[in-house]
Structure 1
Amino acid sequence: MQRIDTIDDIEAGLDALVLADARLVDIRSRAHAVPLRRSQPGFESLASIIVAQQVSTASAASIWARLKTHVAPLTPENYLERGEEAWRLAGLSRPKQSTLVHVSKAVLAGELDLFGLCNHPAEEAITTMTAIKGIGPWTAEVYLLFAAGHPDVFPAGDVALQAAVGHAFGRESRPTAADLRVLAEAWSPWRGVAARLFWAYYAAIRGREATPLL
């Protein structure tokens, strides 16, 4: 597996994508720079993705800053030890509090190796992660994209990606997750770069960041 570790990797993926799908030539030019956006594997990276679920970038950043203040350093042990008062002060919703409890316990029990998963095939890693209560496909896919640098993962359930693809291809309504998964098959084995491209395109046309990484 060729990881996406550098901007050169992004450029190589973009070059391959526009050769495979001519529709992406104009999208690439309109998206301007396509950022790398990598994070270190581990609990903190996954926690940041969980915090970013279903909230604006600004709200996620605010909650994240408070969480790192009230749980410092942010480790599974410290998260569980600080308890509900710290989680509430950080602004975590009940479902996110619960998900991070399950993740913390799984990591400490050796049931979830967030470093080792980065070397597994995408489907296998996603299956392992989604077995943890509260982690859905979107969370697992985003983790593999940004923490593992996986080249061929496309989070089709991401609303911004759906909106970006729908706009780019002139659709009256954004595609469903199922529709987008089918569309994205044409961009394999560079779906991870295609996702970054469409997030960058979304930022260009909407004037606001949509990449789900703090």
Structure 2
Amino acid sequence: MILKETVELKLLTQESLTRGLIALAKLDSDLAHILETLGNPPMWEREAGFPTLLRIILEQQVSLAAARAVFNRLCGIVIPLTPENFLILDDVQLKTIGFSRQKILYCRGIADAITSGQLDLTKLETMDETTIRSELKRLKGIGDWTVDIYLLMALQHPDVFPKGDLGLLIATQKLKKLAARPTPAELEAIAENWRPWRAVAARLLWHYYLSNANGKSVTVYQ
């Protein structure tokens, strides 16, 4: 019987990522196989703040390549990319960059919340996960997936798991040789075995998913 490692981590680092990978390899032979064949996954870290939150909004329901293209065009026009500067752009400018009407609404709402003082992303970094989730989900367009990705990549929480992520669902079906793609609830149940390193497991599964994409443009996040 393998006993799970007890960890009290605030942030995931390269050192703790390595610890997590070793622990997961002991807990799950399928994850161990990914590690053996593909090596360590990228850290996939992003700087906390408005630009990253906006980029995650852009990544909802589209390929990462498409979202990155829109984000890069935005960064080429809005320098620096602050909430105040973003709010200067009108609908025509944002649609020309590649924003949908819905994402214009969401990103403007986030920018307004920050400039009005309703949302303080710096203070958010010191809060517990439940409070962070509650604060962010008050804003239109931000659901659990968006919060999960922000917690996982920007705030480097070690045990966050975006159960509704399409890439993770596809990767788990293939890795576990399941007859059908698991539901988010079923994936969450599978991921229970990966505590307290679920954010590391997510990185391993994305690593595996991308390795099976055969160079095609794929959507990692849903």
- Map residues 12-161 of structure 1 onto 2, 5 A cutoff: 12-161=19-168
Q: Name the residue aligned to 2:5.
A: none
Aligned residues: 211
Moved over 4 A (4+): 208-212
Match of 2:185 among 178, 181, 203: 178
| CA distance, structure 1, for counterparts of residue 25 and residue 78 of structure 2 | 44
**8 Å contact kept, 2:63–2:220:** no
Task: Report the CA distance between 1:128 and its aligned residue.
Answer: 1.4
Deviates most, 21-30 or 187-196: 21-30
Amino acid at match of 2:27: A
Amino acid at match of 1:5: T
**8 Å contact kept, 2:31–2:204:** no
SS in 1 for 2:121: coil
Task: Report the CA distance between 1:86 and its aligned residue.
Answer: 2.0
Are residue 5 (structure 1) and residue 39 (structure 2) matched? Answer: no
**8 Å contact kept, 1:5–1:38:** no
TM-score (norm 2): 0.89
Match of 2:199 among 182, 192, 198: 192
Amino acid at match of 1:15: I
| CA distance, structure 2, for counterparts of residue 99 and residue 49 of structure 1 | 11
Over residues 115-172 of structure 1, what are the superposed CA-to-partner deviations in whole Å (9 max), with x where a residue is unaligned? Answer: 2222222222112111111101101110011110110100111101000011000012
Runs of at least 5 residues in structure 2 that lack an aligned partner in the other structure: 1-8
RMSD: 1.6
Amino acid at match of 2:13: D
Over residues 89-134 of structure 1, what are the superposed CA-to-partner deviations in whole Å (9 max), with x where a residue is unaligned? Answer: 1101111111101111111122222222222222221121111111
**8 Å contact kept, 1:31–1:198:** no
**8 Å contact kept, 2:44–2:153:** yes
Task: Report the CA distance between 1:205 and its aligned residue.
Answer: 1.8
Structure 1 residues 12 and 211, CA gap change in structure 2 (3 angstroms)? farther
In percent, how many aligned pairs have the same letter? 37
| CA distance, structure 2, for counterparts of residue 25 and residue 194 of structure 1 | 10
Task: Report the CA distance between 1:78 and its aligned residue.
Answer: 1.0
Deviates most, 143-152 or 119-128: 119-128
Q: Name the residue aligned to 2:174.
A: 167
**8 Å contact kept, 1:28–1:201:** no
SS in 2 for 1:200: helix
| CA distance, structure 2, for counterparts of residue 118 and residue 20 of structure 1 | 30
| CA distance, structure 2, for counterparts of residue 31 and residue 99 of structure 1 | 37
SS in 2 for 1:82: coil
Q: Which has the higher helix share?
A: 1
| CA distance, structure 1, for counterparts of residue 40 and residue 97 of structure 2 | 33
SS in 2 for 1:23: helix
Runs of at least 5 residues in structure 1 that lack an aligned partner in the other structure: none
Task: Report the CA distance between 1:202 and its aligned residue.
Answer: 0.5
Amino acid at match of 2:157: H
